[in-house]
Structure 1
Amino acid sequence: MPNTTVLVVDDDPPVPSALLDALDQVASSVIRRTLGRLRNDPSAALPAADVLLAPAQCGPEAVRNVVRRLTGRGADPVVVVYTEHGFEALEPHVRAGHDYLVPPFLPALVGARLTSCSERAVLGRTVQETDARTELIRYERELEIGREIQAGFLPEDLPVPEGWEIDVRFRPARQVAGDFYDVFELVHRRRLAIVVADVCDKGVGSALFMALIRSLLRHTAENSGLQHLVAAGSSLAADRSGIRIVGATPLLTAVSATNGYLTRNHLSQGYFATLFFSVLDPATGSLVYINGGHNPPLLLDADGGAPIPLEVTGPAVGVLPDSSFSLGYAQLDPGDTLFAYTDGVPEARCPHGGFLGEERMLRLLSGPALRGKDLVERLDTAVRAHTGDGEQHDDVTMLALHRPRSSGRPTAAVAVA
C-alpha cells in the first residue's frame, strides 16, 4: 500500500505487536493515538489518514466519533477493526460497514486486506462523485428550464407609443432572477404602464415570487373593474390640483390588491418586492406612479440639470397588511428621460468588494441630455468595468423612458445578458 497513512487508535487491548510489525512493512506512515486521550481531550488534533484502525472491542459508536473528528480533513478514512479473540465483537462493526482484520497478522495478508479496503473506498467515492455530478447536471438543467420559463414572463416586444423611446438592460446574477420589468398598455391603449421591481433575496425562491408578483400586478391592472369608467372620465383619483388622472385607479388597485394577496397568503414565507409602477399619458408626458420602497427613479431633464428622484410613496409590497399607497406625479417634457433601476446598479461590487455607489451613478447620469439608449449603455459599461472579473452579486435591471425633442417613429430596445 504505497503512500498510505494508517491512524491506529487503541486502549485495551493494545494493538498486537505482530499487527504493528506488519503495518510498518506495508504502510508508508503509522500514527498511534489512544482512545482515552481522545475522549479526555476533545480538542486534540488528529492527522489526516487513509485508514483508521481500531480494536473491535471499542464499539462502532466510538469509531464513528473518531471519524467525525477526521471529517473535513479530506476523504473519510477506511475503517478497519481488529481482534485476536472475542470475535463476536466484530458483528456490530460489520453491520456498520467496517472491515476487519484477524490473526494471523502476516504482512502480505494485512497489506492485501488494506489494499482491498482502499480500492473499495476509492470506488465508493467515485460512485458518490458521479452521483453528485449527475445531480448537479440535473439541477442545472432544471434551472435552465426555470430560466426559460421566467424569460417568458418578461416582455419580448415593448409597446412603445409614437414619439417615445424605451430601452432596457436586464442581466440576472444567476440563471433565474428576482428582478423584473414590464411594459403594457392600459385604458383602451390610452395609457402605458411601466414597472421595475426587485424581489428580495436571490435564486429559485425569489424567481418564483417574481413570476407571481408580476402576474398579479399586470392581471389586476389590465382587468381593474373601474378602468373602463376611468376611460370615460369617471376616475376617483385626482392629482394635487384636483384634476382627475386617467389610469390612476388601475394603478392603485393593482398595487393594493397584490400587497393584500401576498400578506394574506405568503407573509410567513418572508418574500416581498420593492417596485416602481407608473402610468404614462403619452399624449401629454404626465406620469402618475407608486414607488413601493424602491430605489427612487431619476427624472433627467433635457437641459442637463441635476437628476430629480421620484421619492417613495409607500412600503414594499408583501410586507404589511392593509398598507397605504399614495400617488406621485411627474412630467416628462420633450428631451426628458426617466431612468428606473434596481439596486444591482449602485451596489455592483468590484473584486475587492467596493460598491459602484450612488454618487458615481449620479455623475454618470448627469450632463448634457442623452437618449435613453445611450444612458443605459453608459451605466451598463460602468457596472461591467467596476465588477471586472469579480462575481456579479445581484441582478442588474435598468429601464430608460425617453421623450425625444422631435417626434419620430417609436423605438424600443431590450437587452438581456
Structure 2
Amino acid sequence: MVDQRTGTPRDRTALVVTETAHGAPELEAALAAESFSTRRADPAAVFGVDGAWAERGWGPPDLVLASAALGVNRVALIARRLTTAERGPTVVVFPEDDFEALQSCVRAGFDYVVPPFLPALLRCRLTSCWERGQLTMAVQEMAAEASLRQYERDLSVAHEIQAGFLPEELPVRRGWELATRFLPARQVAGDFYDAFELVNGRRVGFVVADVCDKGVGAALFMALIRTLLRHTAEHTAAWNLLDADEDTVLDTAARTSAVPSPVLSVGAGPLLQAVLGTNRYMARNHLRQGYFATMFFGVLDPASGSVVYINGGHNPPVLLRADGSHQLLAPTGPAVGMMPNSVYSLGHTTLEPGDRLFVYTDGVVEARDSRGSMFGLPRVLDALGTPATASAEDLLVSVESGMHHHVGGAEQFDDITMLALVRTPPEATAVA
C-alpha cells in the first residue's frame, strides 16, 4: 500500500473487530499470509483504537473486518470512527456462525467474506471489495463535485438577480450628494439600500435595511421587502394614508410623532403606508419563517432640507452638523415583520447646508478584528470627523478605511451597507 500523504510504500494494516475471546484465527492467519499487519480489538474499545494507532505511528487501518454478530449499527459506527479527513478504511463483515446477521449487514450495503478463509481466495475477495469501494467513492465524489458546481452556479445567478434589486443610479439634486456602499459577507446578502423619487419628483426616498440572518434565505426576503417598500411608496398618493383624507393624515401624524404639520404636507403618506403595509404583509404571511428587517426609511424634501423618517429598530443613523456636533436618530418603532399591529411614529429633522447624514447596518459597528474586538460606534464617529467640506463619497471612504484598518485580515462575518447624504454648502454648490 502507498501512504496518500507522502507517496511512500507502507505495510498494509488490518483490524479485526469481534466480541469473541478467541477471535477469528483462520481469518487472521489468512491475513498474515497476505502480508497484512493484523490487530484485534473488542468493539467496546474500538473508539479509542485510531488514537492508539496514531500514537504508534501506524495511522488508520487499510482494512476493517468486523464480525456480523456486532449488528449493522455498530459496524456502521466503527466505520465512521475509523474514517479520517483523508480517507476511510475498506470495511468488510464476516460471519461467526450467524449467517442471518451477515445477511442483514449485506442488505445494509457492507461487503463481506465467508469461510473457508484461504489466503488466495481471501486476497481475490478483498481486492474486489477494495475496487468496488474505490469506485463507489469516486462516484460519490463526482456527484458531490457536480452538486457543488450547480450550487455555485445557482449562487452566481442569485448574486446577479440581487444586484438587479439595487438602484443602478442614485437620484441627483442640486445642492445634495448621495453615496452608498454595499459589501456582502457572502455572494448574496440580507442587507439592502434603495433611493428613488416620490411625489412626482418633489421628494427623494432613501432606505437602508438589514434582514435578520444572512445568505440565501435572507436574500430572498431582502428582495421581497425591498419590492414591497418601493412599490407601495411609489404608488401611494401623498394623502392616501390608510384610505384617509388630508385631515386624518395630519391628525394621525400629530398623535404619533413630533413632526410639525407643514412638514407633513407631502411625503408622509407614502412613507407611513409603505412601512405599515410591508410590516402587515410580512407579519401575517411570513411570521413562521422567522425573518424580519430593521430599517431606516427617510423622505427628503430637497428644497427645504426637511427629512421625515421612520426608524424601524435600526442602528441610529448619525447626523453630523456643520458646526462639528452630532446627534443620533433613534428608533421610532420596532423591526418590520415582527408583529402585524406594530405602531410606527414619524421622526423629523432638517439638514442645513454643510450637514451630513450617515446611515449604516450593524455590520459596520460589529466588524471584528482577529481578537473579536468590535469596530464600535466611537470609531465610526472618529472616522466621520472629516472636514465639513467632505463629500458623501469621502465620508464612506473614511469609515471604510477605518473599519478595514481595525479588522485587518479577519474574516467578514456580516453584510455591510452604508449610505451618506450630504447637503453641500452654498460655496460648494456655486463652484459645482
Distance 1:307 1:190 in 2: 27
CA positional deviation for 1:410: 12
- The change in CA–CA distance for 1:147 and 1:11 in structure 2 (over 3 A counts) is same
Distance 2:158 2:344 in 1: 32
Q: Does 1:115 align with 2:127?
A: yes
Q: Does 1:216 align with 2:236?
A: no
Aligned to 2:262, what secondary structure does the other structure show?
coil
Q: Does 1:9 align with 2:17?
A: yes
State the partner residue of 1:283: 303
CA positional deviation for 1:171: 0.7
State the partner residue of 1:338: 357
Aligned to 1:243, what secondary structure does the other structure show?
helix
State the partner residue of 1:415: none
Give aligned pairs, total.
404
Aligned to 1:97, what secondary structure does the other structure show?
coil
Mapped contact 2:238–2:270 kept (Cα < 8 A): yes
Q: 1:267 aligns with which of 284, 287, 292?
A: 287
Q: Does 1:377 align with 2:397?
A: yes
- The change in CA–CA distance for 1:213 and 1:114 in structure 2 (over 3 A counts) is same
Deviation digits for residues 331-351 of structure 1 (CA, Å, limit 9, x no counterpart): 111111111111111111112
Mapped contact 1:52–1:79 kept (Cα < 8 A): yes
- The change in CA–CA distance for 1:409 and 1:181 in structure 2 (over 3 A counts) is farther
Deviation digits for residues 36-76 of structure 1 (CA, Å, limit 9, x no counterpart): xx2xx7x9523243322123444434423433544567644
More deviation, 391-400/24-33: 24-33
State the partner residue of 1:414: none
Residue 172 of structure 1 aligns to which amino acid in structure 2?
P
Mapped contact 1:296–1:310 kept (Cα < 8 A): yes
Distance 1:263 1:233 in 2: 28
How do 1:221-300 and structure 2 match up within 5 A? 221-227=233-239, 236=250, 237=253, 240-245=259-264, 246-300=266-320
Q: Does 1:182 align with 2:190?
A: no
CA positional deviation for 1:361: 1.1
Q: 2:62 aligns with which of 50, 53, 58?
A: 50
Distance 1:84 1:171 in 2: 62
Distance 1:30 1:409 in 2: 89
CA positional deviation for 1:403: 1.1
Deviation digits for residues 82-136 of structure 1 (CA, Å, limit 9, x no counterpart): 3486656543333222222234433343333323322322222222122111111
Residue 20 of structure 1 aligns to which amino acid in structure 2?
E
Aligned to 1:275, what secondary structure does the other structure show?
strand
Aligned to 1:198, what secondary structure does the other structure show?
strand
State the partner residue of 1:358: 377
CA positional deviation for 1:77: 3.1
Mapped contact 2:391–2:422 kept (Cα < 8 A): yes
State the partner residue of 2:57: none
Q: Does 1:320 align with 2:339?
A: yes
Q: 2:155 aligns with which of 136, 143, 150?
A: 143
Mapped contact 1:160–1:410 kept (Cα < 8 A): no
Mapped contact 2:199–2:237 kept (Cα < 8 A): no
Consecutive unaligned residues of structure 1, counting only runs of 5 or more, are 412-417
Q: Which has the higher contact order (CA 8 A, sep 6+)?
A: 1
What's the C-alpha RMSD, in Å, of the aligned pairs?
2.7
- The change in CA–CA distance for 1:346 and 1:112 in structure 2 (over 3 A counts) is same
Aligned to 2:205, what secondary structure does the other structure show?
strand
Aligned to 1:193, what secondary structure does the other structure show?
strand
Looking at secondary structure, tell me which structure has more helix per residue: 2
Mapped contact 2:308–2:346 kept (Cα < 8 A): yes
State the partner residue of 1:124: 136
Distance 2:98 2:331 in 1: 78
CA positional deviation for 1:275: 0.4
Aligned to 2:165, what secondary structure does the other structure show?
coil
State the partner residue of 1:34: 42
State the partner residue of 2:91: 79
Mapped contact 1:187–1:228 kept (Cα < 8 A): no
More deviation, 358-367/94-103: 94-103
TM-score under structure 2 length normalisation: 0.85
TM-score under structure 1 length normalisation: 0.88
- The change in CA–CA distance for 1:320 and 1:194 in structure 2 (over 3 A counts) is same
Deviation digits for residues 145-164 of structure 1 (CA, Å, limit 9, x no counterpart): 11111111100111111221
Distance 2:339 2:154 in 1: 33
Mapped contact 2:199–2:238 kept (Cα < 8 A): no
Q: 1:152 aligns with which of 164, 170, 182?
A: 164
Distance 1:264 1:86 in 2: 60
Mapped contact 2:240–2:269 kept (Cα < 8 A): no
Deviation digits for residues 351-377 of structure 1 (CA, Å, limit 9, x no counterpart): 232211111111111253121111101
Q: 1:173 aligns with which of 147, 169, 185?
A: 185
Mapped contact 1:267–1:319 kept (Cα < 8 A): yes
Residue 197 of structure 2 aligns to which amino acid in structure 1?
E
Distance 1:409 1:255 in 2: 37
Mapped contact 1:278–1:287 kept (Cα < 8 A): yes
Residue 294 of structure 1 aligns to which amino acid in structure 2?
H
Residue 188 of structure 1 aligns to which amino acid in structure 2?
N
Aligned to 2:109, what secondary structure does the other structure show?
coil
More deviation, 68-77/105-114: 68-77
More deviation, 193-202/14-23: 14-23
Mapped contact 2:206–2:298 kept (Cα < 8 A): yes
Q: 2:208 aligns with which of 192, 196, 217?
A: 196
Deviation digits for residues 198-226 of structure 1 (CA, Å, limit 9, x no counterpart): 00000111101101111111111111144
Mapped contact 2:23–2:40 kept (Cα < 8 A): no
